[in-house]
Amino acid sequence: MEWQKYLARLRYYDRMCGNLPTVHQKIAQVQAVVKAYSRHEIPQEVPKLSFSAHYLELHMTKHPELFELVSCLNDLRQVLIENFGIWHIFSQAWLASFKQQLKPGKTLVVMCGNAALAANLSNVIAVDDFDWQAQDNTHPHPWCDVKRADALVAVQKYYQQVDNIILEWAPETTCDRAILDFLRAQKWPGDLIVIGEAKGATNSPQFWQTAKLSRPPAVNALHRPFDFIHDQVFWVK
């Protein structure tokens, strides 16, 4: 669905449920996210899409359209993927905290998608093979210069030049295990950072089985999943 049509749907439900402050707040947050990405900006906050069962039971009789709204809100991830090549939402506050946790020096971001994260980091090399172009998003519009390359090839080429490597929302069938094995074999002293859902929607089972994970509280406290996918930020050894 085109993002402009999605916003129009949200405006419709906002009119239908205009006397419910909680509904209006959620809709406003989602609208702000979509509009921010349409301008190549990072959103101020990450919306929480779900309503409690109690809330729905309380208002469903007078507002049966709430159930349609729930479905509409849950379309947010797909709308962001299809229109902007964005797979996970992070806020400006999270970005500031994340940047403080990076080692000083240069950063390589592989599988960067449209490079929303990479574009907001300094001294960065952004890489993607754009395989997803044939799937959910047919018109990549990177936020910064992105080198077209396989992730493992890029790691092997640049690892000696960088202090941080970020693996961002890798697909389930991927070279992530090979990247980890390579960096271990080289005794690379930098930080490998993975953004994804452990043993879930991202990365390979082989990767999660062997990865030694740590989750810095300062970063993950501000990295808030917005729907049913619970991605987090991991430092990996």
Q: What is the DSSP string of 29-58?
A: HHHHHHHHHHTT---SS-------HHHHHH
Tell me what percent of the residues of the chain surpass a pLDDT of 70: 96
Question: In the prediction, which pLDDT does 87 show?
Answer: 86
Most distant CA pair in the chain, distance? 63
pLDDT, residue 28, reads 97
Check residue 136 and give its pLDDT: 59
pLDDT in tens, 8-41: 999 999 999 878 999 999 999 999 999 999 999 9
d(CA 234, CA 232): 6
Q: What is the DSSP code (8-state) at residue 118?
A: G
Whether the pLDDT of residue 76 is over 60: the answer is yes
pLDDT confidence bin for 135, thresholds 50/70/90: low
Burial class (CB in 10 A: 0-12, 13-18, 19+), 39: exposed
**pLDDT-based confidence at residue 190 (cuts at 50, 70, 90):** very high
Query: How much is the pLDDT for 88?
Result: 86
Residue 51's nearest CA partner among 81, 77, 72 is: 72
Residue 100: how many other CB atoms lie within 10 Å: 10
Q: Please give the pLDDT value at position 140.
A: 73
DSSP-assigned letter for residue 103: P
Averaged pLDDT, 82-101: 93
Torsion (CA) 139, 142, 146, 149 in degrees, nearest 10: -30
Tell me the CB-side half-sphere exposure of residue 117, using CA atoms within 13 A: 30
- The mean per-residue pLDDT over the stretch 186-207 comes to 96
Asked whether residue 131 carries a pLDDT value surpassing 60, the answer given is yes
Average pLDDT rounded to a whole number, residues 144-163: 97
Q: In the numeric block, which tokens belong to residue 43?
A: 């959103």
CA distance readout (Å), 11 to 27, 44, 56, 209:
8, 20, 20, 44
Residue 87 CA: distances (Å) to CA of 53, 106, 227: 27, 24, 12
Task: Compute the distance between CA of residue 68 and CA of residue 120 in angstroms, rounded to an integer.
Answer: 35
Q: Residue 127's beta-bridge partner residues?
A: 147
Q: What is the pLDDT of residues 198-233, one digit of tens each?
A: 999 999 999 999 999 999 998 999 988 888 899 999
Q: Please say whether the dihedral angle defined by the alpha carbons of residues 4, 40, 34 and 78, taken in this order, is positive or negative.
A: positive
Task: Compute CA 166 distance to the chain's CA centroid, rounded to the nearest angstrom.
Answer: 13
Q: In DSSP terms, which residues pair with 232 in a beta bridge?
A: 196
